Amino acid sequence: MRGLSVPSSLLEEMRGYARESYPEECCGFLFSSADRVELSPRPIGSVALAPNERVEERHRRFVISAEQLREAERRAIERGEVVCGFFHSHPDQPARPSRFDQDHAWPWYSYVILSVTAGDPSPEVGAFQLDPDRGEFVRVALATETTPPSVASGGA
């Protein structure tokens, strides 16, 4: 399992989206440069905000459609990046995966969870990867950097 390295500016972008989406879960994509995605810690170079397409229980669930993922992957390829993970918020809950999150996760991808309490993003942020042998999430180290990302962030 590898850790993540996320520029603080991207973490703030994710927190801002979590604040705007509250009391519903927000979600989005994590991108890494195609030639650096296998480094440890995995460097996140950009993020893309995604609409939560879940119809019900949006305060505790999110859905990223297959179409959104395909479009994010297409745009990533154009920029020399890959979709290497996903982020989402947990309104009024800790920044750790729920059983639902774990049951719907894929190996290899990185997952970032942000806690938001009463509309205010918490400093608590969790980073996880699914252990393919056990089928369970494992917490990984999350390093924040103050250097700007190498690729501008933006919508998918």
The DSSP annotation for 52-100 comes to ---SS-TTT-----HHHHHHHHHHHHHTTEEEEEEEEEEETS-SS--HH
Strand pairing class (81-91; 27-33): antiparallel
User: What would the mean pLDDT of 69-92 be, rounded to a whole number?
Assistant: 97
Cα atoms in the 13 Å half-sphere on the side-chain side of 9: 11
Strand pairing class (142-145; 4-7): parallel
Q: What pLDDT does residue 150 have? A: 44
Q: What pLDDT does residue 58 have? A: 86
Distance of CA 16 to the CA centre of its chain: 13
By the 10 Å C-beta count (0-12 exposed, 13-18 middle, 19+ buried), 121 is classed as buried
Please tell me which residue, 47 or 147, carries the higher pLDDT value: 47
Closest residue by Cα to residue 18 from 84, 112, 115, 145: 115
Report the percent of the chain where pLDDT is more than 70: 93
Q: What pLDDT does residue 67 have? A: 96
Closest residue by Cα to residue 69 from 54, 90, 48: 48
Q: What pLDDT does residue 55 have? A: 85
Mean pLDDT for all residues in the chain: 92
Q: Among the CATH numbers 3.30.300.180, 3.40.140.10, 3.40.50.720, 3.40.50.300, which is that of 4-145? A: 3.40.140.10
Q: What pLDDT does residue 141 have? A: 97
Please tell me which residue, 57 or 29, carries the higher pLDDT value: 29
Q: In the chain, what are the domain boundaries?
A: 4-145
Distance of CA 100 to the CA centre of its chain: 16
Report if pTM > 0.75. Answer: yes
Please tell me which residue, 16 or 147, carries the higher pLDDT value: 16
* Inter-residue contact 50 to 156 (CB < 8 Å): yes
- Convert the pLDDT of each residue in 111-154 to its tens digit: 999 999 999 999 989 999 999 999 999 999 999 987 554 444 44
Phi first, then psi: give them for residue 74, nearest 5 degrees: -60, -50
Please tell me which residue, 156 or 146, carries the higher pLDDT value: 146
Whole-angstrom distance, CA of residue 108 vs CA of residue 129: 7
